[in-house]
Amino acid sequence: MDHFQYRDGVLHAEDIPLPRIAEEIGTPVYVYSRATLERHAQVFRDALKDVPKKHIAFAIKCNPNLGVLRVLARQGYGADVVSGGELERAIAAGMAAEDIVFSGVGKTRAELALGLDRGIGQFNIEHEAEGVALAQIALAKEMTARAVLRVNPDVDAGTHAKISTGKAENKFGVGIDVAPEIFGRLAGLPGLQMRGIALHIGSQLTSLDPLEAAFERAGRLVADLRAAGHSITHVDLGGGLGVPYRPDDNPPSPAEYGAMVARVTKDWDVTLLFEPGRVIAGNTGVLLTEVLWVKPGATNPFVIVDAAMNDLARPALYDAYHDFVAVKPTGDKMTASIVGPVCETGDTFARDRLVDAVEAGDLAVFRTAGAYGATMASTYNSRSLVPEVLVDGDRYIVVADRIAAGTIMAAERVPDWID
Ligand code: LLP
């Protein structure tokens, strides 16, 4: 459920009619709903009611906007971060350092040191050399790094290949077969407190089966590690739960996920960590855009909108589907391709899709754009960086400015040795 609803034929974000934001801020613009964000945070937490010891760390890569993070910090959420930049953002947004988990396959030594200096709660180690480096850095600072070892359970998440992470051939984690030896060596290092394991098999998962298979493997590994004398107190189950993008999509609910987790992990006696991203933020945002032109095509017309692949990259990158609806639908429908102004055929949001009939000057939105939307935006084609707005009831605020193409250009220089 979200708070983007039609009232008197006009799409609103909570109590704000979207045409007002378009008029005052311009388009394209991302619009987030605070009430939806808070609801999703609550629903996910409620879904884990049967998990006795838990910590939820929002995967901030999906929406690192400071305003969004502050809302989640107030909901008691920590952060899963994957870079020094994300780490500083989580802290700036008010997340407690000890509630931060540092994931990521290529952390630099400087980033590991930053994590220690900031006092974060946990490092998710991706391979042995990283663990050795972390131990050395911690020792030099006379500190102890709390860490878990990310394992690759070798299950097929059944999602898009570019966002699958838990197959043996993917770059993430250490093979579950070699995990006990590596864990044993790292656990012996001064400076490192190896307290458990982590896994994350992919994103936009639409079935619980691969997650359950992966968690069962993790459970067996916990038992093996304990049998080898290790104290295992934490298991990080990652994120990955899918959301509905199409009106008839029916991914597992947070409640179903929570029930499965509680069942599979009931005898583990650990603190479980969760790193949800999309399921929290996906449906909390839309990308508001204006129709620039409707151009006849060989088969169907092209609806050319002022948002493009640089603003919302998912369709171009993963052939992702985002629902496209008019802000003031007339009730008529048309079959059209929805495209942006960027000079690539890949700048296509929808091909030959039945959509609300629109014409030049109309406003429309791409739904389910709150996760992996603005954060993946670029300025390709020297377009401005898309702004973000957070709505709260009958008020809203720009939580990220539009960065004009001219501002980007001002940060460049022409060498004076080119005449
Ligand atoms: N934990 C780790 C270690 C991750 O790598 C990810 C996502 C998450 C948690 C959060 O996963 P979620 O709950 O959001 O599925 N840009 C792609 C998605 C990339 C996901 C990367 N990792 C997209 O737009 O679909």
Residue 158 has pLDDT above 90, yes or no: no
State which ligand 1 atom lies nearest to the alpha carbon of 62: 14
Query: What would the two tokens of residue 258 be?
Result: 């929570």
Q: What is the largest CA-CA distance in the chain?
A: 72
How far apart are alpha carbons 205 and 221 in whole angstroms? Answer: 23
Atom 24 in ligand 1: residue holding the nearest Cα:
372
Residue 222 has pLDDT above 90, yes or no: yes
Centre of ligand 1 from the C-alpha of residue 193, in Å: 26
Centre of ligand 1 from the C-alpha of residue 205, in Å: 10
Buried b (16+ CB within 10 A) or exposed e, 236-256: bbbbbbbbebeeeeebbebee
Residue 167 has pLDDT above 90, yes or no: no
Residue 169 has pLDDT above 90, yes or no: no
Q: Which residue has the tokens 């008839």?
A: 248
Helix (H) or strand (E) holding 409: helix 405-410
Kindly report the number of other CB atoms within 10 A of residue 286's CB atom: 28
Active-site annotation, residues: 343
Name the residue of 62, 206, 261, 280 whose CB sits within 8 Å of the most ligand 1 atoms, as the mutation to test its pocket.
62
Name the residue of 55, 58, 60, 61 whose CB sits within 8 Å of the most ligand 1 atoms, as the mutation to test its pocket.
61
- Residue 392's nearest CA partner among 2, 127, 36 is 36
Range from 81-85, 119-123, 153-157 carrying the lowest mean pLDDT: 153-157
CB-based pocket (< 6 A), ligand 1: 59, 62, 80, 103, 163, 165, 200, 203-204, 238-241, 275-279, 314, 318, 372
Q: Determine the number of helices (DSSP H) and then strands (DSSP E) in the chain.
A: 12, 21
How far apart are alpha carbons 149 and 197 in whole angstroms? Answer: 5
Mean pLDDT of 167-190: 94
pTM: 0.97
According to the CATH classification, is domain 4-32+282-409 in 3.40.50.9100? no
Whether the bond between 252 and the residue before it is cis, its omega within 30 degrees of 0, is: no
Question: DSSP states of 98-156 as a string?
Answer: GGEEE--TT--HHHHHHHHHHT-SEEEE-SHHHHHHHHHHHHHTT--EEEEEEEE----
Distance of CA 179 to the CA centre of its chain: 27
Atom 5 in ligand 1: residue holding the nearest Cα:
200
Per-residue pLDDT tens digits for 57-116: 999 999 999 999 999 999 999 999 999 999 999 999 999 999 999 999 999 999 999 999
Atom 23 in ligand 1: residue holding the nearest Cα:
372
Centre of ligand 1 from the C-alpha of residue 17, in Å: 31
Predicted local distance difference test score (pLDDT) of residue 1: 72
Centre of ligand 1 from the C-alpha of residue 230, in Å: 30
Query: What would the two tokens of residue 269 be?
Result: 């006696």
State which ligand 1 atom lies nearest to the alpha carbon of 276: 13
Q: Which CATH number fits domain 34-279: 2.60.40.2130, 3.20.20.10, 3.30.420.240, 3.10.20.580?
A: 3.20.20.10
How far apart are alpha carbons 202 and 165 in whole angstroms? Answer: 5
Per-residue pLDDT tens digits for 323-370: 999 999 999 999 999 999 999 999 999 999 999 999 999 999 999 999
How far apart are alpha carbons 357 and 169 in whole angstroms? Answer: 45
Which sequence spans correspond to the domains of the chain?
Answer: 4-32+282-409, 34-279
Mean pLDDT of 182-193: 98
How much of the chain exceeds pLDDT 90, in percent?
95
State which ligand 1 atom lies nearest to the alpha carbon of 313: 24
Centre of ligand 1 from the C-alpha of residue 322, in Å: 17
